[in-house]
C-alpha cells in the first residue's frame, strides 16, 4: 500500500519584507521572516528622545552650576556639615562643590624633581580624606592687567615680573611675593585658596591626578615643558630665549569645573604654610576645611618660613604639573621665582567684580 503524503490543513502566512516596509522605519534591525514566525500584531514605536534641559542663563554669560559628581563618605565617626549649593557664582569664578575628597597619595610615582625637593622625599604623602565646603575659585590666573588695576587703586604693593617678555596684560602676574598675592585677593573681597581647596579643584572628589583625569598632561591641555622645550617650545624675547615664558591665561582648554591653567603655565601661591609632608603637618591638614599650620594667613608661624606653591609651570615637565605636587618657597619670594596665583572665596561672599562692582 502506498502512503499518500500528508496534506497541510493549515498554513502559516509568511509576510515578505516589502509587506512590512513600514516596520523598517521604526525597527533598527532588518526584516528576517521565516516559516513559523507570526507577524506582530502592532508596529513597534521608537522611544521618544528627551533633550537635556538647558541650564538657566546658558549662553548669556551666566555661570552655570557644574554637574553633580560622585561623593565619598568620610572617616567613621567624623561628622561633616551640610554641603551648600553653588549659589549665584560670580561670572569670573567657578564653583567647586564641597564634600569629602582624597588629599595626597600613598606613593608618588610621577618623578618630579625640583631643586627644593625635601630630603625626606615627595611632600605629597600620605593619602587621607579631608572635607571642604563648597567654594568659588577664579577661572583664570590673575593677570598683569588685573594686578595693575590694584596697584593704581593703591591697594597692592608695586610688583612686576623680572623676566623680559612676561609683561603682556593677559599673561599671569608673576614675580611678586606671597604678600602681594594676598593683598590683591583681599582687594577683590577674596582670599588665596587653601592647599586642600586647590587639590579638590584640581583632582575632583575622586582624587584624579590632574584636572583632566588620571593621565599626565601634555602640551595639548597645559603649558609645560615637552620635547620641544619649555612653554611647549615657545621661546621668549631677549636673553636666554630657551627658558620660555608664561602664555596668556586661558591658552589651553579649561579642565575640571571650567577652571583654566590650574596645572601648567604659572605655579601658584596658596594660603598654607609649608610642611615637608602631609604626615608632618598632622591634624592641621586633616578633617573639616583644613587650613594647614597656624591656619595659613600672613601672621608669622613658628617653625614655618615657607609658603606652599602648587600646580607646575611652563618651566617644568608634565610630571610636575599635577594636582598632587607640592612645592615650597619663602613668602618674601627671595630669591625671586616667577610664581603666579589666583583667588578663591567662600560661597556667598561679596566679591569685587572685574568692572569694580560688587556681586
Three-state helix/strand/coil letters over 229-293: EHHHHCCCCCCCHHHCCCCCCCCCCCCHHHCCCCCCCCCEEEEEECCCCHHHHHHHHCEECCCCH
Phi, psi of 178 (to 5 degrees): -60, -40
Tens-digit pLDDT profile for residues 59-70:
333 444 555 566
**C-beta of residue 306 within 8 angstroms of C-beta of residue 274:** yes
What confidence tier does 355 reach under pLDDT thresholds 50, 70, 90?
confident
Query: Does residue 21 carry a pLDDT above 50?
Result: no
Give the pLDDT confidence score for residue 70 in this predicted structure: 61
Could you report the per-residue pLDDT of 129-174, keeping only the tens digit for each?
A: 999 999 999 999 999 999 999 999 999 999 999 999 999 999 999 9
Residue with the larger pLDDT of the pair 276 and 50:
276
Supply the pLDDT for residue 55. Answer: 35
Convert the pLDDT of each residue in 297-320 to its tens digit: 999 999 999 999 999 999 999 999
- Listed range (13-17, 325-329, 330-334) with the worst mean pLDDT: 13-17
326 three-state secondary structure: strand
Q: What contacts 50, CB < 8 A, 6 or more positions away? A: none
Tens of pLDDT, residue by residue over 204-249, are: 999 999 999 999 999 999 999 999 999 999 999 999 999 999 999 9
Q: Classify residue 248 by burial, with Cβ atoms within 10 Å: 0-12, 13-18, 19+.
A: middle
**What are residue 103's DSSP bridge partners?**
128
For the chain, domain boundaries: 93-346
**Above 80 in pLDDT, residue 338?**
yes
pLDDT range class, residue 26, cuts 50, 70, 90 = very low
Question: Closest Cα to residue 142, out of 177, 198, 184, 178?
Answer: 184
Could you please state the CATH topology (level 3) that the domain comprising 93-346 is classified under.
Answer: 3.90.1580
Share of the chain above pLDDT 90, in %: 72
Instruction: Write out pLDDT tens, residues 84-132.
Output: 999 999 999 999 999 999 999 999 989 999 888 887 778 999 999 999 9
Residue bearing cell 549649593: 85
pTM: 0.80
Inter-residue contact 127 to 277 (CB < 8 Å): no
Amino acid at each position: 500500500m502506498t502512503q499518500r503524503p500528508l496534506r497541510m490543513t493549515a498554513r502559516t502566512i509568511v509576510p515578505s519584507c516589502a509587506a512590512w516596509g513600514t516596520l523598517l522605519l521604526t525597527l533598527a534591525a532588518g526584516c528576517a521572516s521565516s516559516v513559523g514566525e507570526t507577524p506582530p500584531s502592532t508596529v513597534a514605536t521608537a522611544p521618544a528622545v528627551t533633550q537635556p534641559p538647558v541650564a538657566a542663563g546658558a549662553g548669556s554669560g551666566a555661570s552655570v552650576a557644574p554637574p553633580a559628581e560622585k561623593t565619598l563618605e568620610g572617616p567613621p565617626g567624623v561628622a561633616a556639615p551640610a554641603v551648600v549649593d553653588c549659589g549665584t557664582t560670580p561670572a569670573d569664578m567657578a564653583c567647586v562643590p564641597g564634600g569629602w575628597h582624597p588629599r595626597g597619595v600613598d606613593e608618588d610615582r610621577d618623578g618630579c624633581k625640583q631643586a627644593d625637593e625635601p630630603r625626606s622625599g615627595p611632600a605629597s604623602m600620605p593619602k587621607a580624606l579631608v572635607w571642604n565646603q563648597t567654594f568659588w575659585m577664579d577661572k583664570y590666573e590673575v593677570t598683569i592687567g588685573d594686578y595693575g588695576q590694584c596697584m593704581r587703586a593703591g591697594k597692592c604693593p608695586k610688583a612686576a615680573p623680572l623676566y623680559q617678555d612676561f609683561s603682556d596684560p593677559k599673561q599671569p602676574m608673576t614675580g611678586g611675593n606671597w604678600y602681594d598675592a594676598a593683598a590683591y585677593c583681599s582687594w577683590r573681597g577674596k582670599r588665596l585658596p587653601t592647599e586642600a581647596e586647590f587639590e579638590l579643584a584640581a583632582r575632583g572628589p575622586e582624587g584624579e591626578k590632574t584636572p583632566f583625569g588620571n593621565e599626565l598632561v601634555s602640551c595639548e591641555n597645559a603649558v609645560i615643558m615637552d620635547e620641544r622645550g619649555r612653554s611647549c617650545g615657545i621661546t621668549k624675547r631677549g636673553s636666554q630665549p630657551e627658558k620660555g615664558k608664561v602664555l596668556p591665561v586661558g591658552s589651553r582648554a579649561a579642565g575640571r569645573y571650567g577652571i583654566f591653567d590650574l596645572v601648567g603655565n604659572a605655579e601658584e601661591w596658596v594660603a598654607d604654610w609649608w610642611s615637608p609632608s602631609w604626615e608632618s603637618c598632622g591634624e592641621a591638614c586633616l578633617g573639616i576645611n583644613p587650613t594647614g599650620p597656624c591656619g595659613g594667613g600672613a601672621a608669622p608661624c613658628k617653625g614655618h618660613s615657607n609658603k606652599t606653591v602648587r600646580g607646575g609651570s611652563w618651566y617644568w615637565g608634565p610630571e610636575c604639573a599635577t594636582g598632587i605636587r607640592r612645592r615650597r618657597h619663602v613668602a618674601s619670594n627671595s630669591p625671586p621665582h616667577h610664581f603666579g596665583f589666583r583667588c578663591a572665596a567662600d560661597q556667598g561672599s561679596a566679591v569685587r567684580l572685574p568692572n569694580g562692582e560688587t556681586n
